[in-house]
Amino acid sequence: MTEVSSRRRREVVDALRRGTVPATGLDQEAIDGLDRRYPGAEIWPLAVLQKGLYFHSEMAKSSSEFVDPYVAQSVVYLRGDIDLSRLHRAVDSVVHRHPALRAGFVRTDSGAVVSVVPADVEVPWRTIDLRD
């Protein structure tokens, strides 16, 4: 599996050097635009399932009561002494280790939709102290 992944990565890098991304239909101008917005990110065509997820998400946006059926959120209540710095570092570590957690759908100026996987992201973090 690692060999296939390495080979695919080389194919994509070679394609970028030629000015295309396989199966995305992006031209060099679109690639350059994505590179400016997401420096160092990987650009991938959407898989069939991802196309369906994107379609349903866009359809939900057109509704007056927008609810994306594929977005899950959780609220976690923690008790006791919490090392917030350590917790934040742990979350950053998980996101850095798993590219799927950094991936997102991006529509280019030409209307093409691709999956973009930034090399690194900053996890939004907010602490609310409810002890008072």
pLDDT along the chain (132 residues), means of 10: 64 58 75 88 90 86 73 80 92 94 90 90 85 72
Interatomic CA distance for residues 127 and 132, integer angstroms: 14
Interatomic CA distance for residues 113 and 69, integer angstroms: 19
> Three-state SS for 65?
coil
- The amino acid at 42: E
Interatomic CA distance for residues 44 and 42, integer angstroms: 7
- The amino acid at 80: G
* Claim: this prediction has a pTM higher than 0.75: no
Interatomic CA distance for residues 67 and 60, integer angstroms: 6
> Three-state SS for 104?
strand
